[in-house]
Amino acid sequence: MDWIKPPCQGRDVGYVVGEGVTRTGEINAAQTPIQPYYETIRSGLMSEQSVFNAGSWQLRQVALGYDLGKVIKNSFLTGARLNIVASNVAILKKWVPHIHPDQNGTISDLNAGLEATGLPVTRSIGFNLNLKF
């Protein structure tokens, strides 16, 4: 995606040159020190180089089950089933470079879509044994 600039633009040289032209129509070549540049754009809570497509392709849940009917054939049980369930199995493709697409620690009308101080998205695996008497 060519329209997304890296979030640390100018870090390697210590300054940022803004896109555009001067009052006389010449291409802008003014160098702004990196620290005040990022302090200024961050004060607006949102900046173009921090906006990403948060779309993703995810394998959210996998469930496998096995009927143990043959194993319990000559027992007091009438049925048995073993299940394994996994949640948040894998991210197959994501477009946001540095966070989990579902992770969001800031929820309000003013800060929708901003990521900060969110708890990590966790993977879980569970087992279920269903016995019928």
What are the contacts of 94-97 at 24+ separation with CB within 8 A? 94/55, 94/56, 94/57, 95/1, 95/52, 95/53, 95/54, 95/55, 95/56, 96/52, 96/53, 96/54, 96/56, 97/52
Give 21: exposed, middle or buried? Use CB within 10 Å, 0-12, 13-18, 19+.
Answer: exposed
pTM over 0.85: no
- Residue-wise pLDDT for 63-98, tens only, equals 999 998 877 777 888 888 999 999 999 999 988 777
List the domain boundaries for the chain.
13-51, 53-99+120-133
Distance CA 46, CA 78 (A): 61
Query: Residue 40 pLDDT > 80, yes or no?
Result: no
Mean pLDDT to the nearest integer, 50-70: 86
pLDDT band at 114 (very low <50, low <70, confident <90, very high): low
Q: How many CA atoms lie within 13 A of 73 on its CB side?
A: 2
Higher pLDDT, 45 or 119: 119
Window from 14-23, 39-48, 92-101, 123-132 with minimum mean pLDDT: 39-48
